[in-house]
Amino acid sequence: MTPEGSRDKGQELMMKVQRGDESAFESLVEIYRQSIIQTAFRYIGDASLAEDLAQEVFLRVYRARATYKPLAAFKTWVFRILYNLVVNEAHARKKRAAWSLESLRGKERSEFFISDERAITPVEAMEEKELHRKVRETVFNLPENQRMALVLNKYEDLSYQQIAKVMDLSVEAVKSMLFRARENVRNRLVGYLKVEASHEV
């Protein structure tokens, strides 16, 4: 168990939730909503569903308050809940193929909330749009486990050990998964790469 003095913000708030402090729960929602929604979105590609899933994650966090123990970083625990939820959702939707790329094609940039807006030329805009599309396609085409491991590692900076806890795998299995994920990404994006001519040491 994480010693009291070294607990992260989420763990501290969760201990308060455990003691009946409902305002602490609202604080958890405010602090962690960005991470959870982003991760859910990058995994499933649907903005509206990502928010629905994130909301369900928070309700499950609250329901688990009685048995919560600060054994791992709060983020790791919350992502574990998200992972279980999206895996179940993915299995349910696989039969309906509701997460096919066709559901994303034709969606304009405005349909996604872009975090950093800047002034760009029409050519750049077109290239950027094409690149965004290609990157989304690359990530969504990864096998589910590779996709989740990559999203957690790349966008949430989770270590191999933390990802292993989220996905209930060994660290070696996570490394193997990330190795294959990055190979797949390289193969798909090789045409878009500006590779450095000389090796940086």
Binding site for other proteins (CB under 8 A): 22, 25-26, 29-30, 33-34, 37-38, 41-42, 47, 50-51, 54-55, 58-59, 62-63, 109, 112-116, 128, 131-132, 135-136, 138-139, 150, 154-155, 175, 178-179, 182-183, 185-186, 189-190, 192-196, 199, 201
φ, ψ dihedrals at 100, nearest 5°: -70, 160
State the minimum distance, in angstroms, from the CB of residue 83 to other proteins: 18
Smaller CB separation from other proteins, 73 or 142: 142
End-to-end, the C-alpha distance of the chain in Å comes to 40
Closest distance of CB 4 from other proteins, Å = 27
> Residue 199, by phi and psi: left (phi above 0), alpha (psi -120 to 50) or beta?
beta
- Smallest separation, CB 12 to other proteins (Å): 19
Distance, C-alpha 43 to centroid of its chain: 6
List the one residue out of 161, 184, 183 whose CA is nearest residue 173: 161
CB of 51 to other proteins, least distance (A): 6
HSE-up of residue 99 (Cα within 13 Å, Cβ side)? 28
Where residue 69 falls (left for φ over 0; alpha for ψ -120 to 50; beta otherwise) is beta
| CB-nearer residue toward other proteins: 103 or 113 | 113
- In angstroms, give the least distance from the CB of 3 to other proteins: 26
